[in-house]
């Protein structure tokens, strides 16, 4: 199953998920002058980052909104980025956060698990109910696909809904997580984790051990590292035997060149060095 490929990639390359949340303004000035066309500029920037980070990252998360914002040209860059990642045999997470039901969800599943926008995993919101996930599950079972379902996010607004108490003294995200963990038991990989994974922010480390124990077979996509306050030692608590999660970094990697004098001249190498620093930071915390 696809989760076994991701698990193996973590074991080989570390926990870094490179977030290709690429805005045209992120391109160094000279590079943007070379590629003034939106489609070509976004893709060539992504391609350079991918080539430099492929052996030091577990997977790539491509956030569709950044490309949608540029219309058709942006979506062409999105499609070309996905195609290039597939060519390189990288694990792809399409960050689309869909959360609709019935026929609409069926169309989203078709759009992002087949055709021009095909990816390995997609992100979903469960807050319309578990039936909003159902149209995606045949692809998980039959087409070697996976999903990451929002459980507890890393933003401050998570407390508005996800942290509300329930009748049995649990929080809403506890209930959602348990339902996702139970659902995932039907889609287990050989690695001991399910292809139905969960998005789990790392900004509340005091709850990490409880969460990892409760969601024993749920593989985590972990946001919140770095600028949002999450530390490597926090992330280690969300893992199981050093695996079971990937940690996303987007601007931290894409814009690493801005922290280096003359970094723009080799922005992709700066991204590689930041991915290596992040990888080693997490591995050292696990050890």
Task: Specify the residue for token string 């339902």.
Answer: 179
Task: Specify the residue for token string 């508005």.
Answer: 160
Q: What are phi and psi of 18, to 5 degrees?
A: -80, 120
User: Quick one: tokens of 37?
Assistant: 């066309």
Taking residue 13's Cβ as centre, other Cβ atoms within 10 Å add up to 17
Looking only at the bridges linking them, the beta strands covering 245-249 and 92-98 are unpaired
- CA–CA separation, 45 vs 49, rounded Å? 6
- Burial string for 141-162 (b: 16+ CB within 10 Å, else e) reads eeeebbbbbbbbbbeeebeeeb
DSSP labels, 186-202: GGB-TTS-BSEEEEE-S
User: Quick one: tokens of 46?
Assistant: 């992504």
- CA–CA separation, 178 vs 182, rounded Å? 6
Closest CA to 147 of 116, 101, 109, 104: 109
* Options 97, 179, 231, 237, the catalytic residue: 97
Task: Specify the residue for token string 């959602």.
Answer: 176
- Chain Cα centroid distance, residue 83: 17
Annotated active-site residue 97? The verdict is yes
Q: Which of the residues are catalytic? A: 97
């Amino acid at each position: 199953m696809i989760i076994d490929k991701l698990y193996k990639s973590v074991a080989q390359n570390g926990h870094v998920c490179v977030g290709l949340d690429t805005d045209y303004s992120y391109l160094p000035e000279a590079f943007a002058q070379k590629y003034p066309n939106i489609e070509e500029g976004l893709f060539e920037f992504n391609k350079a980052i991918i080539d430099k980070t492929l052996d030091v990252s577990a997977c790539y998360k491509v956030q569709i909104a950044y490309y949608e914002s540029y219309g058709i040209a942006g979506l062409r860059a999105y499609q070309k980025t996905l195609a290039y990642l597939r060519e390189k045999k990288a694990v792809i997470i399409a960050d689309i956060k869909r959360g609709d039901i019935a026929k609409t969800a069926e169309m989203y599943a078709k759009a992002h698990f087949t055709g021009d926008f095909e990816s390995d995993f997609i992100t979903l919101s469960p807050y319309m109910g578990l039936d909003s996930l159902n149209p995606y599950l045949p692809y998980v079972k039959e087409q070697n696909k996976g999903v990451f379902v929002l459980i507890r996010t890393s933003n401050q607004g998570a407390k508005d809904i996800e942290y509300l108490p329930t009748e049995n003294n649990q929080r809403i995200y506890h209930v959602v997580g348990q339902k996702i963990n139970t659902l995932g038991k039907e889609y287990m990989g050989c690695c001991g984790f399910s292809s139905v994974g969960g998005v789990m922010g790392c900004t509340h480390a005091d709850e990490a051990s409880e969460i990892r124990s409760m969601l024993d077979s749920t593989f985590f996509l972990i946001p919140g590292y770095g600028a949002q306050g999450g530390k490597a030692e926090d992330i280690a608590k969300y893992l199981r035997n050093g695996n079971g999660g990937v940690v996303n970094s987007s601007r931290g990697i894409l814009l690493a060149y801005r922290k280096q004098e003359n970094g723009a001249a080799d922005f992709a190498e700066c991204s590689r060095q930041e991915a290596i620093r992040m990888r080693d930071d997490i591995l050292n915390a696990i050890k």
